[in-house]
Structure 1
Amino acid sequence: MIKLISLLIYNIIRISILKLIHPNRFNVHLIQRISPSASLITSGKGKFNIGYNTEISKGCDFEAHGDGVISIGTGTYFNRYCMISAQRSVTIGAHCMFGPGVKIFDNNHKFSKEKGVSSQLKCDDIHIGNRCWIASDAIILKGTHIGDNCVIGAGCIVSGNIPTGTLVKHKSDLELISMK
């Protein structure tokens, strides 16, 4: 109980300072459970919108670059070492759960057969609905839209549209199930 109260007080101070230093860039409710070792970084005009009582565990690294916006709904939980990189927009609904090591990128580097990899980026919005569970080490790529009440299985790489109520898992998992 003392540890939780200490963490809440720490976050009230931390968020208040961020709001003072970066006015209009941290629309973050003061009641949060954000680990002291989690980083919320903005560069350029990057912004954070975080609802009430979100938990961000140790080692998480959330970065809003350029005009990027990271929006997280109320009561969402991020386990250890999650990463979000937003150059454009990453929106996560309320009451979602993220396993350890989840990575979310709304951008990737441009590349071509002739010139190779460039420092220029391609970006597209990411939207994750309410009450979703993104299991450990899943990777969510640019342009992904996940509906409400979805489960993305451990280690899955997701791109595109995932309809509401969908369970996404590895093909090998399906093969194991069919053998029973």
Structure 2
Amino acid sequence: MLDEILAKIQRRSQISRLKKHPHVSFKGIKLGISNHFVLHENLKKVTIGSSVSFRNYVHILVEKNATLEIGNNFFMNNFCSINCLDSISIGDNTLFGENVKLYDHNHAYQSQPEFKLFSSEFTTAPIKIGSNCWLASNVTVLKGVTIGDNCIIGAGCTIHKDIPSNTTVINRQDLIFKDH
């Protein structure tokens, strides 16, 4: 009983956070438990369409000057995250399996004269996911990727290049590579 009351309070808190932000608009949203929206006060825009559902333990980060656009009839399953430092758009009638991750950025680094990684500097490029797409469990989409309409991205795939519309992508576990 107490868990249900706390979950209800947490959902109301997250909806209130969305409503109060001057650059956030949404039409209809359903939240599960323990969802977390981190919204920079100076983000550019967040739009969430109608009939959008976020299951449980979803994490969405939208940083300064970033844009997140989610279409109508979108479903995001448990443990998914969106990390938006630039721009991410997701079309209508798209669904994410569990643990899908979107990253529109990488840590900046230099390789010459010696390798150096910058923990708080990033390179960014937009992510665009079309309408009528299914990203199955444990899919990761990296910066600069466009996934066309009507695509299926199979479980466990890491997407680092554009995927044309009407494409199915799968991991091929049956391939064996040998050194020659």
The TM-score normalised by the length of structure 2 is 0.84
Is the contact made by 1:95 and 1:130 (CA closer than 8 Å) also made in structure 2? yes
The amino acid that maps onto 2:133 is C
- Output the CA distance in 1 between the equivalents of 2:85 and 2:110: 21
User: Could you say which structure has the higher helix fraction?
Assistant: 1
Residue 11 of structure 1: how far off its partner (Å): 6.1
Between the two proteins, the alignment pairs up a number of residues equal to 166
Is the contact made by 2:124 and 2:143 (CA closer than 8 Å) also made in structure 1? yes
CA deviations 1:26-65 (Å, max 9, x no partner) are 1111x21112411121114223210001010111101101
Residue 15 of structure 1: how far off its partner (Å): 3.1
SS of 1:84's partner is strand
CA RMSD of aligned residues (A): 2.3
SS of 2:64's partner is coil
CA deviations 1:49-97 (Å, max 9, x no partner) are 1000101011110110111111111111000000100111000001111
Q: Partner residue of 2:18?
A: 18
Residue 153 of structure 1: how far off its partner (Å): 0.7
Q: Superposed, which structure 2 residues align to 1:18-167 within 5 Å? A: 18-20=18-20, 22-23=21-22, 25-29=23-27, 31-46=28-43, 47-113=45-111, 114-118=114-118, 119-167=120-168
Give the unaligned 5+ runs of structure 1: 1-6
Q: Which shifted more, 35-44 or 127-136?
A: 35-44
The amino acid that maps onto 1:15 is I
CA deviations 1:91-137 (Å, max 9, x no partner) are 00011110000000000101123242112100000000001000100
**Residues 39 and 13 of structure 1, relative CA distance in 2, 3 Å threshold:** closer
- Output the CA distance in 2 between the equivalents of 1:103 and 1:17: 22
1:171 aligns with 2:172: yes
The amino acid that maps onto 2:101 is K
The amino acid that maps onto 2:34 is S
The TM-score normalised by the length of structure 1 is 0.84
Give the unaligned 5+ runs of structure 2: 1-6
Identity of aligned residues (%): 32
- Output the CA distance in 2 between the equivalents of 1:14 and 1:117: 34
- Output the CA distance in 1 between the equivalents of 2:34 and 2:79: 10
- Output the CA distance in 2 between the equivalents of 1:145 and 1:72: 15
- Output the CA distance in 2 between the equivalents of 1:121 and 1:40: 21
Residue 172 of structure 1: how far off its partner (Å): 2.1
